Amino acid sequence: MAVNKEITREKLILAGERLVAIHGVEGMSLRKVGLEAGQKNTSAALFHFGTKEGLLLAIFDYRMGHVDQRRHDLLDTDDGSIEALVRAWILPDIEEIISAAGGSYHAQFLVMVSNHPEFNFQKLWNIRYASSYKRIAEGLRKLLPELPEQVFGMRFGMAMMQSIYSIANQERLLTIDNTHTNDEQIAEPLFVSNLIDVMVAILTAPLSMQTKKEL
């Protein structure tokens, strides 16, 4: 009985993730999630999660616990370079997409909820699974001592948005077109290395005279 309950719960989480990724937070309701998950009882999501926000938090937890741990594992073995820190930053999210059975909506879900005014996901990022991000930020700060604190904070935020939106777009393309498996396998390392290059460039770009003037 407990096993069946966990299976149902997982189906509801995956259905909710998919609905939010495709239709946004406003396009997802607990009733729709129950139908999407194939539940005869349309109140199943209400029973398991209580509220819409409760389901969103459960979806977040479902992915981010082991994504955060994977970041820590990579950070424990990195070479201390900016590139290694950025790789540890993005690779766990990409691995999550690759390993998801039946297609992934992980990054697209994050895009939809991360800036939604109805839910305080900024607090979630800062508290719930922030330990690996803090390690990355601290490592980058040590390697970029010449950047003013204000500029570093802006660039870290820009790099985070770049990573989330780029990975979400790649995930969306893989979801809607599964006819080029070999091409995708070839292109995947290029996507990863190019995204690392872009994020490193954001973090290490020299300050222009105008930016220095504005400080």
Examine the pLDDT at 186 and tell me if it is beyond 50.
no
Identify whether the C-beta of residue 53 lies closer than 8 Å to the C-beta of residue 119. yes
Examine the pLDDT at 213 and tell me if it is beyond 90.
yes
pLDDT band at 124 (very low <50, low <70, confident <90, very high): low
Q: For residue 186, is it within any domain?
A: yes
Q: For residue 23, is it within any domain?
A: no
Task: Give pLDDT tens digits for 165-181.
Answer: 999 998 888 777 655 45
pLDDT at 182: 42
- pTM to 2 decimals? 0.86
The residues near 121 (Cβ < 8 Å, ≥ 6 apart) are 60, 113, 114, 115
Task: Give pLDDT tens digits for 43-99.
Answer: 888 888 999 888 998 998 888 888 999 999 999 998 889 999 999 999 999 998 887
Nearest of 126, 104, 92, 93 to residue 171 by alpha carbon: 104
pLDDT band at 151 (very low <50, low <70, confident <90, very high): very high
Residue 172 has a CB neighbour count (10 Å cut-off) of 17
Q: For residue 179, is it within any domain?
A: yes
Stated as kind and residue range, the H or E segment containing 199 is helix 181-204
Range(s) of the domain holding residue 188 = 62-214
Among 3-7, 105-109, 132-136, 142-146, where is mean pLDDT lowest? Answer: 3-7
Identify whether the C-beta of residue 97 lies closer than 8 Å to the C-beta of residue 171. yes
Among 8-17, 138-147, 182-191, where is mean pLDDT lowest? Answer: 182-191
Q: For residue 134, is it within any domain?
A: yes
pLDDT at 183: 46
pLDDT band at 5 (very low <50, low <70, confident <90, very high): confident
Q: For residue 2, is it within any domain?
A: no
Identify whether the C-beta of residue 8 lies closer than 8 Å to the C-beta of residue 39. yes
Number of domains in the chain: 1
Chain-wide mean pLDDT for the chain? 86
Mean pLDDT of 109-123: 76
Examine the pLDDT at 38 and tell me if it is beyond 60.
yes
Q: For residue 14, is it within any domain?
A: no
